[in-house]
Amino acid sequence: MSERIFVGVAWPYANGPLHLGHIAGAYLPADIFARYHRLKGNEVLMVSGSDQHGAPITIRAEQESTTPQEVAAKYHQQFIDCWKKLGISFDLFTTTGTTNHTQVTHDIFLNLLNNGHIYKEKMLQAYCPKCRRFLPDRYLVGTCPYCGFTKARGDECDECGKPLNPWELKDLRCYLCSTPPRFESSEHFFLRLSAFQERLTGWIKEQTHWRHNVLSATWKFLGEGLKDRAITRDLNWGVSVPQPGFERKRIYVWIEAVIGYLSASKEWAKLQGDDNAWQAFWENDAKSFYFIGKDNIFFHTLVWPAMLMGSGGLNLPYDVPANEFLTIEGKKLSTSRGWAIWLHDYLERYDPDPLRYSLAVNMPENGDSDFSWHEFLRRNNNELVATYGNLAHRVLTFAYRNFDGAVPTVGELDERSKSLLHTAKVALDRVDELLCHRQFKESVKEAMSVAQEANRYLDEQAPWKTIKIEPETSAKSVYTVLSVLAALKTIFYPFLPFSSERLHSFLGFDGSVKDEGWKIQFLPPGQRLQQPQPLFVKLDEDIVAKESSRLDSLNENRKIES
Ligand SMILES: [Zn+2]
Ligand SMILES: [Zn+2]
């Protein structure tokens, strides 16, 4: 029976380009998972969008002497181009700037207010006497009271990941002019998060299928005791507060960003011409998965579930498979220091599948992992080109030339050939199991091991030798490897969608891999093959030196604040 799978992916701030840390952290695993479930015949709704609000956007607009709208529009378009080129298959990638999003945010806000989960209280808000403005949390810097990091922001510490309130920071100053702010009283709405402590604890206890890192971070927050959180700010850029007297305030960006999952689902439904179609993904036995980086755990495992509990009627997350961080060449990725590899920049020069492969095989699932150009080159040349690509290319070329451009017709296969086909079947089932449990790294390694095994078989069978003396034996080994390729284009499809589609057509199949389902597609003898082309391109050794110097120069020249 087909399942309904909701895939929510972190909302990127539209204040700067995407880098490989974003992709390894959330977008690639979400896409692999969505593609896998679509192949399984499940109904999938995968949504996200640009986060147009929040201080990172207004800071960027001030730096570039433009408006937040223009900053957001520019990066939103760049995100959409990147998704297309990298094959990130959103059902909808929208923005938080739509009237639909404002409407849905207001609905949730009012539900929470009417149910008594939101209350009004005066709080102290930082005010810069020099800039003559209230300072949102991200406009404040100071020393983290937990780890001593001297550049912690007013909302969280980038070093230790703790969510913070501005008044907790030591040596607090204005981000724009370094003046110490004064605190002035201002009325705000608070989410009564403390009241959910017990209910959330009970619910988290049941989530034994979550990743260890996600559970331990969540238990840590619960152990410290949940505190009520201000959910409005003194700002003029963001979603309005649907209450009189709050015209000059906005809903806190983190609160409305998580509501984006729901508003995007509703927008998708309207675009389908069925306003209620979203409900199937949010109610009853539908399962929802939230793919995020580890810095977003608090808002996805505690705040958003509390809001859903308080608002009522919608499913809580089934899993929040948050990834750890990606380092670049052994160093912590930092957009402010320009130590990052930008996705659009990569995609201008290289193919998408090698990046998808190298990030998947080394995904920061259970701990931080590193991306280096040397490793990228090695994965591309030794694994994609020399193992998988070479297997496909040599057997397809051989079949094309020696069997009249068609899949050879064979009698009963020998035991060795049957055993290889069995290996492919076992791998299909194993990857099925692994992907179902969000174990991406192991899945892609399993798939590559089948290609390795098939290469060994091909070398040992040497159909190019047997063709002259025993053409039937040659035909059997060629048929066997072509059948393994028919399995591999499916097993690899969630990871390498572009190469899988090409291999699908080289094997003479019509249509698309995604329509064939999670099974080994039978290869009919006599099926016309297409003139094969190499699946992957071998890269020059000198890219390592070139890319390293490029990274160094970006590191010196770019001074962009995250
Ligand atoms: Zn100032
Ligand atoms: Zn800290």
pLDDT in tens, 345-354: 999 999 999 9
* Burial annotation 417-440 (CB, 10 A radius, 16+ → b, else e): beebbebbeebbebbbebbeebbb
pLDDT digits (tens, 9 = 90+) for 74-93: 999 999 999 999 999 999 99
pLDDT digits (tens, 9 = 90+) for 465-504: 999 999 999 999 999 999 999 999 999 999 999 999 999 9
User: Ligand 1 centroid to 402 CA: how many Å?
Assistant: 76
User: Ligand 1 centroid to 164 CA: how many Å?
Assistant: 20
- Which ligand is in closest contact with the Cα of 175? 1
12-16, 242-246, 373-377, 538-542: least confidently modelled range: 12-16
User: Ligand 1 centroid to 139 CA: how many Å?
Assistant: 9
User: Ligand 2 centroid to 49 CA: how many Å?
Assistant: 29
User: Ligand 2 centroid to 193 CA: how many Å?
Assistant: 22
Exposed/middle/buried for residue 303 (C-beta within 10 Å: 0-12, 13-18, 19+):
buried
Cβ atoms of 264 and 94 closer than 8 Å: yes
Mean pLDDT, rounded, for 309-332: 95
Cα 80 → chain centroid: 14
User: Ligand 2 centroid to 224 CA: how many Å?
Assistant: 15
53-57, 378-382, 390-394: least confidently modelled range: 53-57
Question: At residue 55, does pLDDT exceed 90?
Answer: no
Position 559 scores a pLDDT of: 46
Residue 556 pLDDT level (bands cut at 50, 70, 90): low
pLDDT digits (tens, 9 = 90+) for 425-446: 999 999 999 999 999 999 999 9
User: Ligand 1 centroid to 173 CA: how many Å?
Assistant: 8
pLDDT digits (tens, 9 = 90+) for 89-108: 999 999 999 999 999 999 99
Position 557 scores a pLDDT of: 55
Residue 562 pLDDT level (bands cut at 50, 70, 90): very low
Cβ-based neighbour number of residue 401 at 10 Å: 10
What token pair was written down for 354?
A: 């090698």
User: Ligand 2 centroid to 211 CA: how many Å?
Assistant: 23
- Which ligand is in closest contact with the Cα of 164? 2
- Which ligand is in closest contact with the Cα of 180? 1
User: Ligand 1 centroid to 454 CA: how many Å?
Assistant: 65
Share of the chain above pLDDT 90, in %: 86
Question: At residue 22, does pLDDT exceed 70?
Answer: yes
pLDDT digits (tens, 9 = 90+) for 127-168: 999 998 888 888 899 999 999 999 999 988 888 888 888 889
- Which ligand is in closest contact with the Cα of 148? 2
Position 560 scores a pLDDT of: 44
User: Ligand 1 centroid to 127 CA: how many Å?
Assistant: 8
- Which ligand is in closest contact with the Cα of 151? 2
- Which ligand is in closest contact with the Cα of 169? 2
User: Ligand 1 centroid to 177 CA: how many Å?
Assistant: 4
Exposed/middle/buried for residue 185 (C-beta within 10 Å: 0-12, 13-18, 19+):
exposed
Position 561 scores a pLDDT of: 41
- Which ligand is in closest contact with the Cα of 178? 1
Residue 376 pLDDT level (bands cut at 50, 70, 90): very high
Cβ atoms of 27 and 9 closer than 8 Å: yes
